[in-house]
Structure 1
Amino acid sequence: MPLSAAEIARHPAALRCIQEQARALIHIYETSPRLAAVFATQQRWLLGHAGLALHFRRDPSDRRTEMTMARFIEVVRRNSVASRNTA
């Protein structure tokens, strides 16, 4: 069962996890700036997270929930992250 935003914020490991993720992103940038470029702007960051959300929310036993370009573009457009051409 997913945690709510409030539950995540109250979790005793939340700050440590955020710090670890920040260190990991900095390390990726230092070792491979091109790889880190996917998160270089707010729009790219949002596009990256939209893709991650689609990936992790899928049902592995149901091929109909796999991430496809059509689903990705639909999520990006529905949430006004970018135009179809940018996505």
Structure 2
Amino acid sequence: MKASVVAYKPVGFVLGAAGGAMASAAFRKVWKVVEGTGEAPDATDDERTWREILLAAALQGAIFAVVKAVVDRSGAVATRRLTGTWPG
């Protein structure tokens, strides 16, 4: 295993945690705009409709995937700039 890959592991972990926090915040803001309420429904929330639950799940999944891609790609680009090698 390359040294750059090993060195990137802890950086990737920290970036992943930060990305998760950013994605959660972004989802809460988007949901508030979409639904007008601050709380997204849980899958087991019996007072919410299937439509609301599935819409929330789809939005959350899309936002998390985009944020993860941005964070992972940015981290890899930064690693290449610092070390001269791609971490993957």
The TM-score range, normalised by the shorter chain, is 0.3 to 0.5
Larger Rg: 2
Give TM-score scaled by structure 1 length: 0.36
Q: Which has the higher relative contact order, 1 or 2, with Cα contacts under 8 A spaced 6 or more apart?
A: 2
Give TM-score scaled by structure 2 length: 0.35
